[in-house]
Amino acid sequence: MSPSPCLVVKNLTTRFGSDRAGATVVDGVSFDLTPGRTMALVGESGSGKSATALSLMRLIEAPGRIIAGKILLDGRDLLSLSEREMEDVRGGQIGMVFQDPLTSLNPALTIGRQIAETILAHNNISYAEAEKQAIDLLLRVGVTDAVERVHDYPHHFSGGMRQRVLIASAISCAPAIIIADEPTTALDVTVQAKILRLLHDLQLEMHASMLLITHDLGVVAAMADTVMVMYAGQIVERADVDTIFHNPRHPYTKALLACVAGIEDDRSVPLEPITGTAPDLTDPPKGCRFGPRCPMVQDSCLRTDPKLRALSNDHAVACILVAEEKVDA
Amino acid sequence: MPEIVMQVSGLTKSFAARGSRSGSIKAVSEVGFSLGRGETLGLVGESGCGKSTLSRLMLALLDADAGVVEIGGVDFTHAPAQHKRNLRRRIQIVFQDALSSLNPRRTVGVNITEPMRLQGIGTAVQRRIEARRLLELVGLRAEDEDRYPHEFSGGQCQRIAIARALVLKPEIIVFDEAVSALDVSIRAQVLKLILDLQQQLGLSYIFISHDLGVVKRICDRIAVMYLGRIVEIGPASVVCSAPVHPYTQALLRAIPIADPRRMRIENLGLIEGDVVGVPTENACAFAPRCPMRFDRCLQSRPELASAFAGQQVACFLLNSDT
């Protein structure tokens, strides 16, 4: 049926601070990434999207640490690798594109040098050869005058062009997995459209798997094959893209979509904000974390911690009300 | 036709170009529009199109090279300093980054009533009462007056900034990317507040954003800017459903819609090239990227002309195909 996954994440749990005082920002997250497919991870600020991405790359810095779980890449658990082995994985098998290309690029080095260094870190070739490859990569991501531009510094580039440079660097070792964390959030819509298309085309070409992290449901609808909705460190719903948008079951997913419909549609659709704010993770609410803001909340929601349960092969929801509904039906 | 509260005409502003002695860049060129009482006019365009320069010109925070902003029929641009100060009470602004627009060392109450103090309005006690009233009006608690800005979330800071914009009882509020940095759920909350306040207080709004989705949702009319000029202006529903200018069309096609049945990456519209450099005076600024350009577009510049249903468009196609 479906091809075997290239990355399997099981019960990933990342916590900042101590056991007693602190916050579990990634709380028992499990998912698979499949070659050639895009998985979107969607949620609001502080929901744990970026912490999930950084955990996958083992880039969580103290006082944060991964306290449980497995990250299996081709059967190898990344959490058991040495730091040296992990360096080969980063930029090698997993390429990463961040939101802010200006801060991810070194302002004091030419962009040719920065891409070449990534290549040299993973290949035993000469600098001249690496620079030649950098030029080819820049051409591939649409930097047309790449032969001259390898000698330019990051500040010589526009925001969209910098993002292309970063993408060139991320794909330099033909990674099996691309993690793109809000890759177009800082860009204008016309530039965003081009960068999204570029990522999509490169992914198809390389048959890579992409984990796309975004808060923008429009970007999700355009790019994703599968979607995970994250709230307060937990995955609350996971399904194929059509199901998420047309048959969402978790009250948070529904509320999020209603917000977007209220904002994006014309004035006939009422604005329906979700009341309240996301919980403080140092002191999360008992039971369901969305409970205090949920329009459907029942007493039992505040007592039971809902687990992500499969409704069908490709649809899972963490809501006790949905589970009950299914038993009735 | 409602009463006009603000009339902008021929507004122009150039900045000296960095690294060149002679050159200057026209950030805003001959921009004109009117704003009716209780109306919301959206200004959309991408980075560098002149939206923010225009907002600062409207508030007389920058001096215009040419053109006039009239507020309630009075010339704001050329008013003498003392008079300008009084006129400033009638137009206020809310910026994108609310936290950095608030003074971190003053309480929220003092921040909100700072404009009153500067304008010499009310006693300290009256200002406190006003701060408490406004905090409740924007959906916070009166007791929050003694807390500091950093204790509040992004959405709450934006509410505080809105309270401060209201303190001088203005007729016009300019929102410069005021909800752009907020998460969708919070964005919806703040937009609802903005709309409710307009209903209650009869305010007129200029709503500046790069996000056409949001603009479409709350504006009566929309003006689309490209490299310092308005290229299309008209009723929001018409501009969004039947855009005439190729740039407006391209902008709309580039927005991903939150529905995978209507929009996938393959249908996302791509425009040729990037926004580049300084437009030439005698050509359409969008021509180098326009899929529909013809000879005339590179030889002269189209002026805004009336199209259909109250739209005005600066494009030669308008005349050529009718």
Contact between chains at A220 and B258 (C-beta distance less than 8 A)? yes
Cis previous bond, A63, omega within 30: yes
Q: Considering Cα of B142, then B146, then B151, then B153, what sign does the dihedral take?
A: positive
* Residue among B188, B263, B265 whose CB faces A262 most closely: B188
Q: Among all residues of chain A, which has the CA nearest to that of B257?
A: A218
pLDDT score for A329: 41
Q: pLDDT band for position B21 (50/70/90)?
A: low
Q: What proportion of chain B, given as a percentage, has pLDDT over 90?
A: 70
Contact between chains at A259 and B185 (C-beta distance less than 8 A)? yes
Give me the phi and psi of B34, to 5 degrees please: -120, 155
Does residue B262 register a pLDDT over 80? yes
Does residue B18 register a pLDDT over 90? no
Contact between chains at B46 and A188 (C-beta distance less than 8 A)? yes
Q: Report the gap between the CA of B282 and the closest CA in chain A (Å).
A: 25
Looking at A140-249, which runs of residues are DSSP E strands?
177-181, 209-214, 226-231, 234-240
Mutate to test the interface with A, among B183, B197, B225, B248 (most CBs of A within 10 A): B183
Rounded CA gap, B100 and B102, in Å?
A: 5
DSSP conformation class of B139 = T
Three-state DSSP state, B171? coil
> pTM of the entire structure?
0.89
Q: What's the pLDDT tens digit per position in B91-146?
A: 999 998 888 899 999 999 999 999 999 999 999 999 999 999 999 999 999 999 99
pLDDT score for B71: 96
Q: Report the gap between the CA of A262 and the closest CA in chain B (Å).
A: 8
pLDDT score for B158: 95
Which stretches of chain A score pLDDT less than 50? 327-329
pLDDT score for A264: 67
- Counted residue by residue, chain B has a size of 322
List chain A residues with CB under 8 Å of B191: 263, 271
Amino acid making up residue B230: I
Please report the residues numbered 166 through 205 in chain A whose beta carbons come closer than 8 angstroms to any beta carbon of chain B: 188-194, 196-197, 200
Is any Cβ of chain B less than 8 angstroms from the Cβ of A267? yes
**Bridge partners of residue A310, in order along the sequence:** A316
Tokens found for residue B245: 């200018």
Burial of A261 (0-12, 13-18, 19+ CB in 10 A): middle
For residue B130, the Cα-to-chain-centroid distance in whole angstroms is 27
What's chain A's Rg over C-alpha atoms?
Answer: 21
Q: What's the pLDDT tens digit per position in B172-221?
A: 999 999 998 888 888 889 999 999 999 999 999 999 998 888 888 889 99
Q: Which of B132, B140, B204, B136 is nearest to B175 (CA)?
A: B204
Is any Cβ of chain B less than 8 angstroms from the Cβ of A282? no
pLDDT score for A46: 86
Please report the residues numbered 124 through 153 in chain A whose beta carbons come closer than 8 angstroms to any beta carbon of chain B: none
User: Where is pLDDT greater, at B262 or A210?
Assistant: A210
Contact A142, B270 (CB under 8 A): no
Compute CA distances A289 → A297, A304, B310, whole Å: 11, 10, 49
Note the ipTM here: 0.86
Rounded CA gap, B95 and A120, in Å?
A: 45
Lowest mean pLDDT among B47-51, B78-82, B190-194, B274-278: B274-278
Contact between chains at A271 and B195 (C-beta distance less than 8 A)? yes
Q: Which of B227, B211, B271 is nearest to B246 (CA)?
A: B271
pLDDT score for A324: 62
Does residue B281 register a pLDDT over 90? no
Cβ neighbours of residue A148 closer than 8 Å, sequence gap 6 or more = none
Give me the phi and psi of A41, to 5 degrees please: -115, 110
Does residue B322 register a pLDDT over 70? no
Rounded CA gap, B108 and B149, in Å?
A: 6
